[in-house]
């Protein structure tokens, strides 16, 4: 997204020669008043500024003025210094659009119903120091086609492939398209068009031998439902005729209807046309690839017919010997081809293109199309790829629609528009019973909303710095829209297609990567339709966007995109400094009410002429009470109240601006004071040194002292970090030897085994001990010792309990008898031997208990040491 560097410069602000260029004179005000009283359709696009390089043609009232922006920039700030020329034309109605031809030879002047073509003089002739008006030669285009009795003119477009840039296409509101091949030496070229098509007839056509001509002047027109559904809102070409665009795009005319339908005509060519260096190779590659794909599949008769027609059309172009022409304004040579005659010059009307998913469209006001990029890989497959500079962009077309509610619908043309012609009568008869007509779709991917206004007609303006950026002009201002954020990710998805998860990835893509929109200029409130802006790229002006509102110029200077390779070639390790955001607040433009002269004098003269009872001398004498005097005072009061109301509103706006500036100045002073206090705190100027006995340190010494303290603290931290690093290195020790690694592995395995034993239940542990008693490992031995301990303790306790019961109970019973038998058997064993065995058993139990406790303690220590060893 381009950044706003500054708004209207001082050489376009009052008082300056650039400001005077847009100011109305007394004659232009009178002419504007006469044109305003005429009943004309005020709705429609308004383009009051056109440019030829840095030269601009400005419509002031109904007067066309010429000037050069570079000359205005260098002009002295003098009110009497006039740096523009007035161009006199024979146009009678209110002019609504000015369109300059691609080579700057012609200027199309459009009113609501008429079109005039003016032949523009050279810039050297216009820049002569002469303030007198210059009458230029102009012809009325179509004296019987574009008149008040016919439909209003919607668009006038110069064909991008027209020979010498002199091919004009006009589209009227009743869906009639006319292609004019102008020749200043032939008056007939301005009277009759080369092609005149009625799109309503073409939409319902079935064969190529029908009559598609537009209705002649004076012919009666019957009612048709298409008269409402096919009411044209705007039209545009699909490309700018550059070498990085697909071949079909430059010869495709897109037409948007007010109700929301979109149609396309391809190919629409004049009898003489100039292709770009990549147009014909691109068409050949596309047609050959499509023919190969058709031959390897089972195509329908309609698909086979389209490919056959494209091959015949392209073969006729290949068989031509083009005419080599060199233009005076360029050093390059151009090839001029003749339009093929088979298939015929009238293409098929493709569409309507329906939006998917379906959306409720408001009234369409303008259309803007971005052509698909050239397929470099397919075009240069037999050439050296290293010597060819590839083009970046999207391989599918983009169609943008502006609505009256200031919304922009962005759609993708995934199928693409190729050349199509109507079949002959016989082929049309066969097709009628073979298959049905298919409908095309435009994939709606995003809808951008801008502030909604009433009585607005939003229009698009292309930008030369980027194919995927454009400007939208409405009554609320100028909006800079860029599609760059999602172009590259979408192209990556299209280059590497994958059916699995494609819908999900696209949904995520358009949820995350959205088009950027920024209002770069805010218009002042006005009653009429705001005019469109122009975008000018120049080394002296930069990226200059110019428009006019209420006879006042408004401009925005945007930053130009800079290639990063320019920096890398000089300083590969450095990056350009990030500049602070400039103050993009729009400068104050004085209201027109301050400069407008009062209409009271003219009103009094006209009142005296209308009313025979009044005399001009009576206006300077004492007031006489009469109905005529009362009517005069009432009308004068109404006029003066309107003028004073405008002056009051303008003065109130100026007062509010002054109050806001005063508040902003107070805030800036507060911020500067806060910064000053912070600076004093840094330099020590905020401390007078009276509270301490130490000498006062201020200025550079204070800063040096703080810097030295910071360096000392940094060195102390560095020492602490180094000591900590050495301590951690000491804890880590040297690298382990092979035996140490083996011992660590054994400790880890032993810890794991002991952990498993501790988590088992006693019954489970006993079962595992009996099953694995033969295992010669520490775990099994430890388990066996524990089991033996529990068994001996239980037996000793049982023996002690029986002995106690025998001693306390004198009556012989079964248990007593067993005890007596046991005592008798024990009495036969010597007491010394018996005590010795019991002592040995107790000693063995104590040793086993100590052994178990020692082993458990040692294993606990070994387990902790094993965990501290980093490799394990």
Higher pLDDT, 592 or 72: 72
Residue 315: phi, psi to the nearest 5? -65, -35
Q: Is the pLDDT of residue 379 over 80?
A: no
Q: Is the pLDDT of residue 388 over 50?
A: no
Q: For residue 267, what pLDDT is reported?
A: 94
Lowest mean pLDDT among 48-52, 214-218, 513-517: 214-218
Residue 795: phi, psi to the nearest 5? -65, -40
Q: Is the pLDDT of residue 574 over 70?
A: no
Q: Is the pLDDT of residue 499 over 70?
A: no
Contacts of residue 356, defined as CB under 8 A and 6 or more positions apart, other chains included, come to 441, 442, 443, 444
How confident is residue 434, by pLDDT bands cut at 50, 70 and 90?
Answer: very low
Q: For residue 37, what pLDDT is reported?
A: 43
Higher pLDDT, 24 or 814: 24
Q: For residue 518, what pLDDT is reported?
A: 93
Q: Over the stretch 653-662, which tens digit does the pLDDT of each residue have?
A: 889 989 988 9
Q: Is the pLDDT of residue 319 over 50?
A: yes
How confident is residue 525, by pLDDT bands cut at 50, 70 and 90?
Answer: low
Average confidence (pLDDT) over 528-545: 90
Q: Determine contact, residues 49/74, Cβ cutoff 8 Å.
A: no
Higher pLDDT, 765 or 191: 191
Q: How far, in Å, CA of 514 to CA of 482, rounded?
A: 9
Q: Determine contact, residues 253/177, Cβ cutoff 8 Å.
A: yes
Q: Over the stretch 824-868, which tens digit does the pLDDT of each residue have?
A: 555 556 677 777 778 888 888 888 788 778 777 777 776 665 555
SS3 call for 785: helix
Residue 339: phi, psi to the nearest 5? -65, 130
The DSSP-derived string for 149-166 is TSPPEEEEEE-TTBGGG-
pTM of the predicted model as reported, rounded to 2 decimal places:
0.71
Higher pLDDT, 199 or 579: 199
Higher pLDDT, 130 or 340: 340
CA dihedral 372, 373, 375, 376 (to 10 degrees): 180
Q: For residue 505, what pLDDT is reported?
A: 66
Q: Over the stretch 594-650, which tens digit does the pLDDT of each residue have?
A: 877 788 877 777 777 777 666 666 667 777 777 877 888 888 888 888 889 989 988
Q: Is the pLDDT of residue 382 over 50?
A: no
Q: For residue 868, what pLDDT is reported?
A: 52
Q: Over the stretch 141-154, which tens digit does the pLDDT of each residue have?
A: 999 899 988 899 99
Q: How far, in Å, CA of 208 to CA of 422, rounded?
A: 5
Q: For residue 866, what pLDDT is reported?
A: 54
Q: For residue 633, what pLDDT is reported?
A: 82
Average confidence (pLDDT) over 250-258: 95
How confident is residue 86, by pLDDT bands cut at 50, 70 and 90?
Answer: very high
Cα angle for residues 303, 306, 310 (degrees, 5° grid) = 140
Share of the chain above pLDDT 90, in %: 35
Overall size of the chain counted in residues: 872
Q: Which of 196, 192, 171, 172 is nearest to 182 (CA)?
A: 192
Q: How far, in Å, CA of 410 to CA of 469, rounded?
A: 12
Cα-based distances in Å from 603 to 600, 608, 634, 706 = 5, 9, 12, 78
Q: Over the stretch 782-802, which tens digit does the pLDDT of each residue have?
A: 777 778 888 888 888 888 887
Q: Is the pLDDT of residue 872 over 50?
A: no
Contacts of residue 638, defined as CB under 8 A and 6 or more positions apart, other chains included, come to none
How confident is residue 297, by pLDDT bands cut at 50, 70 and 90?
Answer: confident
Q: For residue 777, what pLDDT is reported?
A: 60
Cα-based distances in Å from 120 to 66, 100, 136 = 10, 9, 7
Q: For residue 568, what pLDDT is reported?
A: 41
* Core vs surface per residue 649-687: b (16+ CB within 10 A) or e: ebeeeeeeeeeeeeeeeeeeeeeeeeeeeeeeeebbeee
Mean pLDDT estimate for the chain: 80
Q: How far, in Å, CA of 766 to CA of 795, rounded?
A: 17
Ordered by start, the domain boundaries in the chain are 1-140+524-558, 600-683, 741-868
């Amino acid at each position: 997204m381009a950044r706003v560097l500054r708004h209207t410069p001082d050489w376009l602000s009052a008082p300056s020669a650039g400001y005077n260029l847009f100011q109305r004179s007394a004659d232009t005000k009178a002419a504007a008043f006469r044109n305003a009283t005429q009943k004309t359709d005020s709705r429609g696009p308004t383009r009051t500024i056109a440019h030829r390089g840095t030269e601009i043609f400005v419509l002031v009232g109904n007067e066309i003025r010429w000037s050069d922006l570079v000359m205005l920039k260098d002009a002295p700030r003098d009110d009497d210094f006039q740096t523009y020329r007035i161009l006199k034309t024979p146009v009678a109605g209110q002019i609504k659009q000015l369109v300059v031809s691609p080579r700057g030879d012609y200027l199309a002047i459009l009113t609501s119903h008429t079109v005039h073509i003016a032949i523009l003089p050279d810039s050297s002739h216009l820049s002569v120091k002469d303030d007198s008006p210059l009458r230029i030669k102009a012809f009325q285009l179509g004296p019987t086609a574009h008149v008040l009795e016919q439909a209003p003119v919607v668009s006038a477009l110069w064909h991008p492939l027209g020979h010498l840039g002199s091919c004009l296409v006009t589209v009227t509101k009743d869906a009639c398209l006319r292609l004019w091949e102008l020749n200043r030496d032939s008056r007939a070229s301005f009277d009759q068009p080369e092609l005149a098509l009625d799109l309503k007839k073409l939409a319902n056509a079935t064969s190529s031998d029908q009559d598609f001509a537009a209705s002649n002047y004076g012919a009666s027109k019957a009612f048709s439902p298409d008269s409402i559904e096919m009411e044209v809102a705007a039209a545009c070409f699909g490309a700018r005729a550059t070498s990085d665009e697909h071949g079909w795009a430059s010869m495709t005319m897109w037409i948007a209807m007010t109700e929301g339908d979109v149609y396309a005509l391809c190919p629409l060519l004049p009898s003489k046309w100039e292709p770009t260096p990549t147009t014909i190779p691109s068409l050949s590659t596309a047609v050959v690839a499509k023919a190969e794909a058709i031959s390897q599949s089972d195509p329908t008769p309609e698909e086979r017919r389209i490919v056959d027609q494209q091959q015949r059309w392209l073969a006729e172009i290949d068989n031509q010997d083009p005419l080599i022409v060199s233009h005076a304004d360029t050093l390059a040579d151009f090839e001029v081809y003749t339009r093929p005659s088979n298939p015929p010059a009238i293409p098929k009307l493709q569409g309507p293109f329906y939006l998917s998913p379906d959306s409720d469209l408001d009234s369409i006001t303008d259309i803007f199309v971005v052509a698909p990029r050239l397929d470099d890989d397919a075009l240069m497959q037999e050439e050296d790829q290293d010597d060819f500079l590839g083009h970046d962009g999207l391989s599918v077309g983009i169609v943008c629609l502006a609505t009256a509610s200031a919304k922009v619908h962005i759609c993708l043309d995934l199928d693409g528009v190729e050349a199509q012609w109507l079949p002959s009568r016989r082929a049309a008869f066969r097709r009628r019973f073979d298959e049905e007509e298919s409908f095309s779709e435009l994939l709606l991917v995003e809808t951008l909303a801008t502030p909604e206004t009433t009585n607005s007609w939003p229009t698009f303006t292309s930008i030369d710095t980027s194919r995927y950026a454009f400007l939208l002009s409405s009554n609320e201002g100028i909006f800079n829209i860029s599609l760059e954020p999602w172009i590259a990710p979408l192209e990556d998805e299209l280059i590497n297609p994958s059916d699995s998860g494609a819908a999900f990835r696209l949904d995520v893509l358009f949820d995350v990567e959205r088009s950027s929109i920024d209002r770069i200029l805010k218009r002042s409130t006005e009653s009429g339709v705001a005019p469109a802006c122009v975008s000018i790229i120049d080394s002296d002006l930069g990226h200059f966007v110019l428009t006019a509102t209420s006879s006042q110029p408004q401009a925005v200077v945007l930053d130009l995109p800079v290639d990063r390779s320019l920096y890398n070639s000089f300083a590969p390790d450095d990056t350009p400094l990030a500049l602070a955001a400039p103050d993009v607040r729009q400068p104050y433009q004085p209201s027109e009410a301050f400069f407008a002269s009062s209409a009271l004098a003219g009103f009094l003269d006209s009142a005296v002429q209308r009313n025979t009872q009044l005399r001009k001398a009576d206006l300077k004498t004492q007031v006489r009470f009469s109905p005529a005097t009362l009517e005069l005072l009432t009308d004068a009061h109404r006029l003066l109240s309107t003028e004073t109301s405008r002056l009051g509103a303008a003065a109130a706006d100026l007062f509010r601006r002054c109050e806001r500036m005063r508040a902003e100045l107070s805030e800036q002073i507060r911020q500067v004071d806060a910064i000053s206090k912070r600076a004093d705190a840094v330099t020590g100027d905020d401390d007078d040194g009276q509270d301490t006995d130490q000498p006062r340190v201020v200025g550079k010494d204070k800063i040096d002292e703080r810097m030295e303290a910071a360096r000392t603290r940094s060195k102390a931290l560095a020492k602490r970090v180094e000591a900590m690093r050495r301590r951690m290195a000491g804890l880590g020790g040297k690298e382990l030897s092979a035996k140490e690694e083996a011992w660590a592995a054994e400790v880890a395995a032993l810890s794991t085994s002991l952990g498993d034993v501790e988590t088992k239940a006693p019954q489970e542990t006993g079962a595992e001990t009996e099953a694995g008693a033969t295992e010669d490992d520490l775990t099994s031995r430890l388990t066996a010792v524990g089991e033996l301990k529990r068994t001996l303790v239980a037996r000793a306790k049982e023996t002690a309990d029986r002995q106690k019961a025998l001693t306390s109970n004198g009556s012989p019973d079964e248990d007593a008898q067993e005890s007596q038998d046991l005592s008798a058997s024990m009495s036969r064993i010597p007491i010394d031997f018996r005590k010795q065995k019991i002592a040995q058993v107790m000693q063995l139990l104590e040793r086993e208990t100590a052994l178990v406790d020692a082993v458990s303690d040692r294993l606990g220590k070994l387990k902790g040491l094993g965990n501290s060893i980093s490799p394990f």
